[in-house]
Amino acid sequence: TEKSPRFSRILLKLSGEALAGNKDMGIDANILDQMSLSIAHLVGLGVQVGIVVGGGNLYRGSQLQKDGLVGRVTGDQMGMLATVMNGLAMRDALERRNIKTRLMSAIAINGVVEQYSSRNAIRFLKSGDVCVFVAGTGNPFFTTDTAACLRGIEIEAKLILKATKVDGVYNKDPNKYDDAIRYEHLTFDQVLDEKLEVMDLTAICLCRDHDVPLQVFNMNKAGALLSVVMDGNEGTRVSK
Ligand code: UDP
């Protein structure tokens, strides 16, 4: 008999950088398709999948402000709308792989996305649909990492997965130092005390306070996503 997944419901955070793949800007169609395949595999195993997408490949509010284009609040609104665009592309990529997908936004955009509600999201997840959550938390001065933790807690995900370009959390930058060591397990307090760059502090505190474990792993590594969900043996785990 086939082994059943360790985590029955997950929240996957895909940053804008991850969606851009090898491109400097915009969205990489091949990357989206690869991600969709991996997600299809999970759905096939009965895993309930919620996804939060970032927007940094298109716009970041803080940068737009620095550039002098707009004020911070407007910049953050542009950033949140960027995540909606990424989500639209992600939804279509998933549906091309015959995965039923719901696109739910924290900001109402009638006729384009449906409005987020945790009750509806949980109902959709239970029926086997993938839910893509966009527009972050709907508020300026937050990040999509925080949105991922918030949504993860709301939908009662068993694990929040942060997809990155490295294999986990290291004591120093593995791209710069050959002797960098990867942590297999960290506590939330260790991340906070040692100022390890996992997610922003708001996100880490939310997960700590609500006791939802985090797993940082390399999305570009074949089979990594599956391995995290099957037995959690991949990358770095952050928990109590
Ligand atoms: N953003 C926001 N509130 C949120 C989430 C995101 O204002 O709750 C804005 C913010 O300007 C941010 C941008 O959307 O820079 C894109 O999100 P983020 O930088 O988190 O994307 P990622 O780094 O994951 O690509």
Which pLDDT belongs to residue 34? 95
Burial classification of residue 50, based on how many CB atoms lie within 10 Å of its CB (0-12 exposed, 13-18 middle, 19 or more buried): buried
13 Cα–ligand 1 center, Å: 12
Which pLDDT belongs to residue 233? 86
Which pLDDT belongs to residue 232? 85
ipTM of the assembly?
0.99
Which pLDDT belongs to residue 25? 80
Annotated binding site: 13-16, 55-56, 60, 76, 137-144, 164, 170, 173
- Domains of the chain plus CATH, in order, are 9-239 (3.40.1160.10)
The pTM is what? 0.97
pLDDT, mean of each 10-residue run, the chain (240 residues): 88 96 90 96 97 97 97 98 98 98 98 98 98 98 98 98 92 90 96 92 97 95 93 93
Burial classification of residue 25, based on how many CB atoms lie within 10 Å of its CB (0-12 exposed, 13-18 middle, 19 or more buried): exposed
Strand 48-53 versus strand 159-164 pairing type: unpaired
Of ligand 1's listed atoms, the one at least distance from the Cα of 140 is 7
